């Protein structure tokens, strides 16, 4: 299932890696595509939208929608 998040606070490549790692810890089978300049995080995962949003927030970023 495809999940699209608007995530603020990702300022550099390290942040992209941190978000990706947090998602993959939750779901090792997830694929993550980040377009940082647009604050977009696209996730292919069978995990729930809420669970995915939660790990992004726990990593220190804001999920806007």
In the complex, the residues that contact a second copy under the rule CB under 8 A are 11-12, 14-15, 17-18
Report residue 8 as tokens: 């603020």
d(CA 11, CA 27): 24
Q: How far apart are the first and last CA of the chain?
A: 17
> Which is nearer to a second copy, 11 or 48 (by Cβ)?
11
Nearest approach, Cβ of 29 to a second copy (angstroms)?
25
Nearest approach, Cβ of 20 to a second copy (angstroms)?
13
> Which is nearer to a second copy, 18 or 26 (by Cβ)?
18
């Amino acid at each position: 299932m495809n999940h699209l998040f608007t995530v603020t606070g990702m300022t550099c490549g390290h942040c992209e890696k941190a978000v990706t790692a947090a998602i993959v810890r939750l779901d090792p089978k997830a694929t993550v595509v980040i377009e940082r300049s647009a604050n977009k995080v696209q996730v292919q995962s069978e995990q729930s939208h809420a669970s995915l949003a939660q790990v992004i927030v726990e990593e220190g970023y804001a999920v806007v929608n």
